[in-house]
Amino acid sequence: PQASNKQDFTGAVESTGTFTSGKNGQITASLTVSPPESELVCPGGQKRILACVTYQDITLEDTSNGVTADVPGSLAKTFFNLEGCP
């Protein structure tokens, strides 16, 4: 939206998991990451709604083997809020 009171916020997030490989050493798994908590305050009569989130500078770390890998690009998700719609 083009509202003058629209605000962005940033913060670090982290997720951990334990994964095991199959016979060929391949691992197919996923991690769930939630957006950082917002400290934004809405004026009276308004409420805070998450419109979209983008994750960038993503690094995966294998702590068991001391291996890290940077994920190129970014991941994004746009949310549609239908609350209050007929």
The answer to whether residue 1 scores a pLDDT higher than 80 is no
Provide the 10 A C-beta neighbour count for residue 34. Answer: 8
Neighbouring-strand partners of residue 60: 69
Band the pLDDT of 15: cuts 50, 70, 90. Answer: very high
Band the pLDDT of 11: cuts 50, 70, 90. Answer: confident
